[in-house]
Amino acid sequence: MSPSRVLVLNSGSSSVKYQLLDMRDHSRLATGLVERIGEQTSRLKHTALTTGDTREYNGPIADHQAALKAVAEELARDGLGLESTELAAIGHRVVHGGMFFTEPTVIDDAVLTEIERLIPVAPLHNPANLTGIRTAMALRPDLPQVAVFDTAFHTTMPESAARYAIDPKIADRLRIRRYGFHGTSHAYVSRATAGLLGKAPQELNVIVLHLGNGASASAVRGGRCVDTSMGLTPLEGLVMGTRSGDLDPAVIFHLERVGGMSMDEIDTLLNKRSGLFGLCGDNDMREIQRRIDEGDREARLAFDIYIHRLKKYIGAYYAVLGRVDAVAFTAGVGENAAAVRAAAVAGLEELGLAVDDGLNAVRGDAPRLISPASARVAVAVVPTDEELEIATQTYALVGKDD
Ligand code: AMP
């Protein structure tokens, strides 16, 4: 039998998330997370889904190399080691693929060089992704390693949506344009929404709302992205856990000129200390809802600002698409916060959008409709699965049939 397992690695600056999947039946064999790499208080949490065993290691893990070695050892303890002949490939999440990478790509030296060249537009993410890839390549040099890019799904956007209204010579020289992120999730969820409705993706226009700690919206026409809310970086668009999303660019001049802040301080303010957290001191929607229930006005205003922005994007993408067949909510907030879903479409009945309160209150892991049967536009909750999507794309590239 040909190898059918794919290890998915998502390497962040101080963390590595991983999942081992068997692509014959899409079953998950193991999953885990290494956090706080490089600190004294690193932690590895590993779960073998074959046995249900969970193991935790607390103590210093110096770097990504040590982290991946530790992961490999944990997998080996469950008989799932990286040396296994059943392993077909390793699939890596890479945040920024620029305009160069429109598809998942088998990694070679040229690909590594290009990912490296994109560091100026993804200074936080691409270096961490590269470290993960290089470490995995050193562990299994013979194995195909595939890069799956967060930006790839958005490369179909027309220039009218992707370009900012600035001098194209400056934009091209500095590679400034809308790239968009969370593309793996938008691709998976738009396809799964079509599946839920029993349609082919080509037949359907969908607005996907990926509402996690990071949040982005996309307009998907016939399976192809035509607009998305994140831009050159993940800062643009919706109100997020700690990112401001859209603001007048002149706010930045003002913070520097009048507020006396440095560019690094402004970067930190807008990326790490804004959004829901900046507005009310909490970025977890559960906590915000709890505070609202207790009558907290700061939390209420943060929620209202979040919803107002979300509604603006639904309206904007309705206009971009002309005809909308479905709106799909996904990620931590989108999948779990019924109040956010209800508030986001409240008052949009004229656009054919509504939620049924009973259906909206039902919890579950499966894709489901929450709009009334009579609604013109389907409103759905579609849990995202970026790891499965990365594994599927990786396996499609390298997997061989028996
Ligand atoms: P993600 O980035 O997709 O993992 O989403 C993380 C966010 O999902 C958290 O910050 C929470 O705000 C939100 N979240 C998770 N579970 C719930 C829940 N049961 N109700 C409301 N929000 C939730």
pLDDT at 400: 58
* CA–centroid distance, residue 121 to ligand 1 (Å): 27
What domain range includes position 117? Answer: 5-149
Cβ neighbours, 10 Å, residue 194? 23
The residue ranges of the chain whose pLDDT is under 70 are 400-402
Question: Looking at residue 26, which CATH number applies to its domain?
Answer: 3.30.420.40
> Are residue 236 and residue 367 in the same domain, yes or no?
yes
User: 193 lies in a domain?
Assistant: no
Nearest ligand 1 atom, CA 288: 12
Number of domains in the chain: 2
- pLDDT on residue 43: 96
55 and 121 in a single domain? The answer is yes
Q: What is the pLDDT of residues 51-97, one digit of tens each?
A: 889 999 999 999 988 999 999 999 999 989 888 889 999 999 999 99
Tell whether 140 and 256 lie within a shared domain: no
pLDDT in tens, 272-328: 999 999 999 999 999 999 999 999 999 999 999 999 999 999 999 999 999 999 999
* Judgement on whether residues 222 and 307 belong to the same structural domain of the protein: yes
CB of 209 within 8 A of CB of 334? yes
Is residue 379 helix, strand or coil? Answer: strand
Q: What is d(CA 29, CA 39) in angstroms, rounded to the nearest whole number?
A: 28
pTM of the model: 0.94
Cβ-Cβ contacts under 8 Å for 67 (sequence gap 6 or more): 16, 34, 37, 42, 44, 61, 135
- Does 286 carry a binding-site annotation? yes
Are 211 and 111 part of one and the same domain? no
Residue 87 lies in a domain: yes
Ligand 1: residues within 6 Å at CB?
212-213, 241, 283-286, 331-333, 336-337
Are 122 and 239 within one domain?
Answer: no
Residue 284 assigned to a binding site: yes
Same domain, 235 and 356: yes
Say how many Å lie between the CA of residue 241 and the centre of ligand 1: 9
Last residue of a domain, one of 110, 134, 149: 149
Answer for the pair 288, 299: CB distance below 8 angstroms, yes or no. yes
Does the annotation flag 285 for ligand binding? yes
